Amino acid sequence: MESDLLKQSGKIMTREQVMAALKAVNEVLKSKNRTATVLITGGAAIMFLFPEFPRGVKDLDAGFMSPELLSAVEQVTWEQDLQSGWFNDTSKDYYSPKTGQTVMGPEFSNLKVELPSKDYLLCLKIMSGRPEEKANDVSDVAFMVSHMPEIRSERDWQENYYKWFGKKDWKPYTAEAARQAIEAKQHKKESKMKSKLAGRPTALISIKFTSSDTRVMEALYRKLFSLEDVAPLLEGQTLTATLLKPSDDLADQIILAGEEYGLQPTIHTTKASGLGKKGKAPYKVKEFEGFEILVGRSAIENDTLSFEVANPNDFWLHVDGAPGSHIVIRNPSNLTELPPSVLIEAKRLAIDNSKAKGRNDAMVHWGFAKDLSKPPSSAPGEVYLANWKVAKVKKADLPPPPPAYVQQNVQKPEWVKAPNTPKTIGIVVFEEANVSGDLGFQRKVLTHEAPVRLANDLIDELKEKGLKFNNQQVFKWLMSHIEVREFYTDKTDGTMYCHAEIEKRFFEGLVKTLSAPAK
């Protein structure tokens, strides 16, 4: 029966056939009173690590195989009339138990089967995968990412990759498969949260998470602590995130952050205070040179402002490529153009009330409220503007930034351009020191924030030049060339500063490379 099972395997082996083959090898070792250990990688390892794995395998890829094991495999190949190479050591150059974590595989009396951990195997596939569809490497990477809850972002697998493989390049097609799988997981989570919150007539006030895992709770606390207008409180096994102002977008961020750590939220709500029926209006009002400018407060209130408050001929603005407030400028005279000074002020408000705050190269879309529409099944705050113009905020349009090392009462990490030298491009990130908190963690955040902000700023500059490139690869390259030059705390006002920069010759070389025609 066992022989028939093996002979039927042909080119593709099912899980049952693989187990039968390994059992046959074990029996040969047992008959010779020998033992052997083997490290199985590739598709067979995925098959053992993931019960949901949908396909069979052509062969078993192994690491180092001892002479005793090779002899047993050869005997089984001959006795069972198996295809040559069904059990091979072609992956021995990729896998080493010294660098990768190992877990136990199927158990036999005389054959010990070990497998790489899921994290290591994923990185191995991303590094050594082949682009051909028949090789299955791209689909294997997508499958593994989608079935590994611990992989929540590209950074999760990249940190392991650098730990095990250093600076060795990964394959772009397998890395892209991982990215798409991560985006699909995130989209699924976001859709789930939107369906939970759909139609909720109340404003979210506090969100609670409970877990006995101290490390998870502390990690989530630090993540929520970095969000503006959120006051997290960790008491024992309960973490409460209180919203200091009503915001559906902010509530979504908190809920999704908890789900990344496998935590389900308990949502406490109060009566809505910003839908325009009772209490304050769903927008802030600013008067400027005789014009009334309305600024949305949250995603839901943006919709109310744009579709219920705004008149058809009112001007409408929103920052390009970042979440932010809808801006409406009253237009009782039915003007076709705004005075430049009013448009500049409105653009500044759009940027200051968005995730693009502080960027002097931010782009703003503007048009008329009559050209707005709400796509079916779209999230709160998402709109379509049929006719619009793009206005870039130039440095001359913005107020002068504070000097690099002088800033009072900074509540959140901010930044200014560092004075460029003939040889460098720089940035300075600064924050008020939290003397009652973990200053070491605060320093770590700033020394990470500075290079990331500079890299993103340079990527935006490349896009402004009209260059086409892979964001992830260019970001990785920039981060490897950006250096933290200076970090210190000003004892006079308690402000912490971090200065990061990149040599101009590196950035100019990157521009030249990306500008070169493809060969």
CA distances from 341 to 37, 93, 292, 347 (A): 76, 65, 14, 10
Alpha-carbon gap, residue 456 to 423, rounded angstroms: 20
At 348 the pLDDT is: 85
Q: Across all residues in the chain, what is the average pLDDT?
A: 76
403 or 53: which leads in pLDDT:
53
Using an 8 Å Cβ cutoff, are 221 and 239 in contact? yes
Which residue reads 């769903």 in tokens? 282
Max mean pLDDT range (23-27, 235-239, 331-335, 511-515): 23-27
Residue 434's pLDDT band, with cuts at 50, 70 and 90, is low
CA distances from 361 to 142, 170, 388, 393, 448 (A): 36, 32, 19, 6, 22
Would the pLDDT of 182 be above 80? yes
Would the pLDDT of 316 be above 90? yes
**Percent of the chain's residues with pLDDT above 70:** 75
At 1 the pLDDT is: 36
Taking the model in full, what pTM does it have?
A: 0.41
Which residue reads 């062969």 in tokens? 59
At 405 the pLDDT is: 31
**Residue 78 CB partners (closer than 8 Å, separation 6+):** none
When pLDDT is averaged across residues 15-38 and rounded to a whole number, the result is 90
Backbone dihedral angles phi then psi of residue 436, each to the nearest 5 degrees: -95, 0
- Strands 372-373 and 384-385 turn out to be antiparallel
At 4 the pLDDT is: 44
Would the pLDDT of 6 be above 70? no
Let me know if 436 is exposed, middle or buried by CB neighbors in 10 A (0-12, 13-18, 19+).
Answer: exposed
Instruction: Tell me the per-residue pLDDT of 66-109, one tens digit each, with 9 for 90 and over.
Output: 888 888 888 888 888 777 888 877 666 555 544 456 778 888 99
Q: Which of 48-62, 97-111, 157-171 has the lowest mean pLDDT?
A: 97-111
Q: For residue 401, which of 350, 444, 357 has the smallest C-alpha distance?
A: 357
CATH architecture, range 199-270: 2-Layer Sandwich (3.30)
CA 258 to chain centre: 15
**Percent of the chain's residues with pLDDT above 90:** 7
At 198 the pLDDT is: 43
Would the pLDDT of 206 be above 60? yes
- What type of residue is 303? D
Would the pLDDT of 7 be above 50? no
Alpha-carbon gap, residue 283 to 308, rounded angstroms: 12
Would the pLDDT of 326 be above 60? yes
